[in-house]
């Protein structure tokens, strides 16, 4: 993946989260585009890109002043990217039920 394209996608997801998520909320439940992007990146490209995407998006979130502790979003998004990156190329090795239960479990962390 090209670095410029990757950075552009990160910025688009960040702005999509903060400008469009409020419009799509239903009863105070908002979609989390950043987590979806981290999950996609980690499964598609592996742990390294998942951790980098998670850290950068978490850093943007912390700098925007959304969280109460600085660095907590970076840590949780990086951890999500790392754990989800484990699932790259595991679909054929694991039983599909275990594969889906694993990534659903990672989402609920």
Q: What is the pLDDT of residue 53?
A: 92
HEC sequence for 84-99? HHCCCCCCCCCCHHHH
More confident residue, 43 or 68: 43
Beta bridge partners of 28: none
For residue 38, the model assigns a pLDDT of 93
Sign of CA dihedral 31, 33, 35, 36: positive
Question: pLDDT tens-digit profile of 62-84?
Answer: 888 776 788 888 999 999 999 88
For residue 29, list its beta bridge partners: 26
More confident residue, 57 or 89: 57
Judged by average pLDDT, the poorest of 20-34, 48-62, 82-96 is 82-96
What are the extents of the domains in the chain? 47-109
pLDDT at 107 over 90: no
């Amino acid at each position: 993946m090209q670095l410029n394209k990757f950075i552009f996608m990160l910025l688009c997801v960040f702005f999509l989260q903060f400008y469009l998520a409020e419009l799509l909320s239903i009863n105070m439940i908002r979609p989390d585009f950043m987590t979806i992007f981290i999950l996609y990146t980690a499964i598609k490209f592996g742990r390294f890109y998942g951790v980098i995407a998670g850290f950068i998006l978490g850093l943007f979130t912390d700098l925007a002043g959304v969280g109460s502790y600085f660095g907590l979003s970076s840590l949780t998004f990086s951890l999500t990217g790392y754990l989800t990156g484990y699932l790259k190329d595991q679909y054929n090795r694991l039983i599909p039920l275990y594969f889906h239960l694993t990534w659903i479990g990672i989402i609920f962390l």
